[in-house]
Amino acid sequence: MTPSPVYVTRTAALSCPAAGFEQRGVASYYGPGFHGRLTASGEMFDMHDMTCAHRSLPFGTLLLVRNLDNGLEATVRVNDRGPFVAGRIIDLSVEAAERLGMIESGTARVLIRVTGAVRDE
């Protein structure tokens, strides 16, 4: 799966200090209550964008997220911090959660893998 054409990317080795990073755990999602509010990166949260919150990965990092229960994948960009619930590794936008088929359950077992970073302009 390739990153959305909206994002301009470099090779992971050149632009992302977390290249090769992988993590398994539980994903959740957030949406309407945060839609239009500022994220930790300073941009407005849009629940219809392919974005996520991660505790430590740099803003602009692109991640391939695979739902381990159904095999669906989505590419998201880190633009916020979280999740702040014990046992979860990533909070996804509503759009990303829909593409991963996890709206009904609210959470999913996932594998996340760094694929690159958005170019600094």
pLDDT tens profile 41-80: 999 999 999 999 999 999 999 999 999 999 999 999 999 9
| Contact between residue 48 and residue 93 where contact means Cβ atoms under 8 Å apart | yes
- Helix, coil or strand: residue 73: strand
- Band the pLDDT of 10: cuts 50, 70, 90: very low
Look at residues 66, 55, 41, 46 and name the one whose alpha carbon lies nearest to residue 118: 41
| Contact between residue 63 and residue 112 where contact means Cβ atoms under 8 Å apart | yes
Whole-angstrom distance, CA of residue 27 vs CA of residue 114: 15
pTM reported for the whole predicted model: 0.83
- Helix, coil or strand: residue 99: helix
Look at residues 114, 16, 30, 105 and name the one whose alpha carbon lies nearest to residue 67: 105
Superfamily of segment(s) 12-117: RlpA-like domain (2.40.40.10)
Between strands 61-67 and 107-117, the pairing is antiparallel
Tens-place pLDDT, residues 76-108: 999 999 999 999 999 999 999 999 999 999 999
